[in-house]
Amino acid sequence: MTSDFPKPVFRPSGTFDRLFPSEDPAEVSRAAHSTATTLLARVRREEDPEVIERLISFTASHGIDDIAHLWSRSPAKSLPGALWRLYLVQLSIHDDPQTASLLYERGRGELRTTDQIVAGAPTPATPAELVALIDTILRGAFTGDFAVALDRTAAFCRVQASGATHLADDYEAMEPARSTQLTRRALRLTSIAEDLTIASRMWRRDELG
């Protein structure tokens, strides 16, 4: 894949290339929905702390490829699509917490909304605190209100998108290439936030399958 990958895929480390090379799309879709539904139901039913922690740390231990193979081609407005985006945001923060913190803090200072309150990050948010925050949000997706986890992640993305947009403006005159990179990142974060917000509404209406 080139750098112009289809939205809303946000590649923090360029590791999302092995995506269903030959499988039947209908089978892939059925498998994605089945695994997402089964996983979420089983974790919520058993509430095994060890299993939950393994899921939270999955990308740190195994990378993103296995999850990508399961869910990355699912529609945004579906359960596997929502789970894919949650893991993708988590990985982006784990992969580069310094940049995540920089974008979040700049966005927090610029954005005049309640998103920073919804996201729940401390003020100011250090890189380590943002890593802990996204893990907490993902844990909540498996153990608490799934819609709340989606809303918190969407809010987090909007704050970061604001930060990326304003930093892009700062770099525009002196480093246009960097400015373009930040603008693209802001657009991807905004797209992910929109998808998660819609998925949250659908979950509350029992329509997210």
Range scoring the smallest mean pLDDT among 22-26, 101-105, 180-184: 22-26
d(CA 109, CA 162): 9
pLDDT tens for each residue of 172-192? 999 999 999 999 999 999 999
Query: Is residue 9 over pLDDT 50?
Result: no
**Whole-prediction pTM:** 0.84
Helix 25-46 to helix 127-143 angle, to the nearest 10 degrees? 90
DSSP sequence for 77-116: TSHHHHHHHHHHHHHHHHH-HHHHHHHHHHHHHH--SSHH
